[in-house]
Amino acid sequence: MTNTEPAQPDENAAADRLRQELVETIVKNRADIGRTVDQPILEAVRTVPRHLFTPGVSLEEAYADKVPIMKRDGKGVPISSVSAPWLQATMLQQAQITPGMKVLEIGSGGYNAALIAELVGPSGAVVSLDIDPEVCERAEKGLADAGYDDVVTVVCADGEFGAEQFAPFDRILVTVSAPDIPPAWVAQLGENGRLVVPLRMRGLERSFVFEPDDDRLVCTEFELCGFVPMQGIGESRQRLVGLHGEDIVLRVDDRQPVEAESLQKALEAPRQETWSGVTVGGMEPWDDLDMWLATVAGSYGYLTATDRGLDSGLVELSLRWGMSAIWDSDSLAYLTLRPVGDDRTDFEFGAFAHGPHASDLADQLVVHIRSWNRNQRRGDGPHFEVHPKDSLDGDLPLGRVIEKRHSRVTVSWPPTPGRTGQAN
């Protein structure tokens, strides 16, 4: 439905039913991982007509718990979408928005801004910002059609600079993948404010909640997420290093050196396998392991492959979307899993490696897996802070320092009670 004509009664009834079903899906998905969603957020999902913000998309697709792609660039890469409802609900839960707040959304589309408008109420205000005039126009039309244009102000500008004319904000929500946290976002965050941002670190993206503490930002929680990349002056996309044309690709961040030709040759060498003895249940989350590897390994990226890449037999990926990888000048190793036991519900972590130093790299990866299992597994997880670019090393917490254009992000791992030994 594109809203060029008034909705028919049966369409309205179908949309009402689909919104209720969407709420039930969100509740179930969050419950499956032990999380909840506050009732005001669920009521907002029940209320806002999502289909008015997805022109050209069927009613059923608009209310499915997945991502409608609204625009692609010249190479077919998605650059604008309406985020999956579960992820929008997750970030709104992280934001803890209450009536009367002023909220800045960076990365528009209209629907999420309408949800925020429901949460802030008539006494609050929402500024929804996007760099793409077409996205802004679509957002403005959807908001007007849905009746939220009196609460939401759409601004067409580069999100790198925020919206100073409306600052300060009680909450800033970023709905694009951000390579860094620009100074403007920190400056425009009000006292006791909260920044929710999908920040990318060493190629891993998480939706972080940051709160100001003197001249730094401190993370209070984070969740898995995925967004289209930020555009504008702050754009910094991951490098895609082809190891078998475009069918096997190493995703690399933070300007890490990669000898592409050498690693291409490495993949053609026989595979080395090394297993850790560390197992995981089929439904047990282990995303902290990826972050641990990104923290302790000298090189870190994500190995991905298309169906043709997998059919080539050069790589075998346990997860369809890719696996953590480390490398040196001429060899590559990546994380893998194999089923163990008769019922095949548990899996053992290991390493597949190729190249002249395959055995050494596989051993390194397995040592990191065992260290995570021994010292950090089921602990409190990593602690993140964002510090000004001019911060001195001695003033930073112990751990990995990730250098960004505007900031220095630190990742440290508090010791798990009752365990000894920690690698940073």
**Chain segment 102-136, per-residue pLDDT in tens:** 999 999 999 999 999 999 999 999 999 999 999 99
Catalytic residue among 80, 83, 207, 407: 83
Of 342 and 257, the structure prediction assigns the larger pLDDT to 257
**Poorest-confidence range of 320-324, 334-338, 371-375, 420-424?**
420-424
> Domain check: are 259 and 289 in the same one?
yes
Q: How far is 99 from 80, CA to CA, in rounded Å? A: 29
The DSSP output letter for 403 is: E
> Domain check: are 24 and 56 in the same one?
yes
> Domain check: are 169 and 246 in the same one?
no
Q: Please report the pLDDT score of residue 278 as a whole number.
A: 97
Q: Please report the pLDDT score of residue 239 as a whole number.
A: 87
- As a whole number, mean pLDDT of residues 266-284 equals 93
Looking at 375, 390, 406, the residue that finishes a domain is 375
Torsion-angle region of residue 245: left (phi > 0), alpha (psi -120 to 50) or beta?
A: left
Q: Is 381 inside a domain boundary? A: no
What is the pLDDT confidence band of residue 145, given thresholds at 50, 70 and 90?
very high
Helix (H, G, I), strand (E, B) or coil at 324: strand
Percent of the chain with pLDDT over 70: 92
Of 87 and 353, the structure prediction assigns the larger pLDDT to 353
Q: Is 129 inside a domain boundary? A: yes
For residue 42, what are the CA distances in angstroms to 23, 90, 122, 369? Answer: 6, 11, 18, 39
Q: How far is 98 from 124, CA to CA, in rounded Å? A: 9
- As a whole number, mean pLDDT of residues 206-210 equals 96
- As a whole number, mean pLDDT of residues 239-262 equals 92
**Chain segment 359-401, per-residue pLDDT in tens:** 999 999 999 999 999 999 988 899 999 999 999 999 999 889 9
Q: How far is 308 from 226, CA to CA, in rounded Å? A: 24
> Domain check: are 326 and 265 in the same one?
yes
- As a whole number, mean pLDDT of residues 329-337 equals 97
Q: Please report the pLDDT score of residue 421 as a whole number.
A: 45
Q: Please report the pLDDT score of residue 175 as a whole number.
A: 93
Q: Please report the pLDDT score of residue 82 as a whole number.
A: 66
Tally of structural domains, the chain: 2
> Domain check: are 212 and 258 in the same one?
no
What 253-261 contacts at long range (C-beta under 8 Å, 24+ apart), as own/partner pairs, is 253/179, 253/200, 253/201, 253/202, 253/203, 253/301, 254/201, 254/202, 254/203, 254/402, 254/403, 256/299, 256/300, 256/301, 257/299, 258/301, 258/327, 259/329, 259/330
Whether 77 shows a pLDDT value over 70: the answer reads no
What is the pLDDT confidence band of residue 349, given thresholds at 50, 70 and 90?
very high
Q: Is 403 inside a domain boundary? A: no
Q: Is 65 inside a domain boundary? A: yes
> Domain check: are 356 and 315 in the same one?
yes
- As beta bridge partners, residue 273 has 352
Q: Is 43 inside a domain boundary? A: yes
> Domain check: are 85 and 165 in the same one?
yes
Tell me the pLDDT of the chain averaged across its residues: 90
Decide if 207 is catalytic: no
Domain at 205, CATH number: 3.40.50.150
**Poorest-confidence range of 53-67, 289-303, 371-385?**
53-67
Backbone angles phi, psi at 407, to 5 degrees: -150, 175
Whether 325 shows a pLDDT value over 70: the answer reads yes
Structural domain including 272 reads 239-375
> Domain check: are 366 and 263 in the same one?
yes
Q: Please report the pLDDT score of residue 319 as a whole number.
A: 92
Q: Please report the pLDDT score of residue 56 as a whole number.
A: 85
Q: Is 29 inside a domain boundary? A: yes
Looking at 375, 401, 416, the residue that finishes a domain is 375
Q: Please report the pLDDT score of residue 76 as a whole number.
A: 59
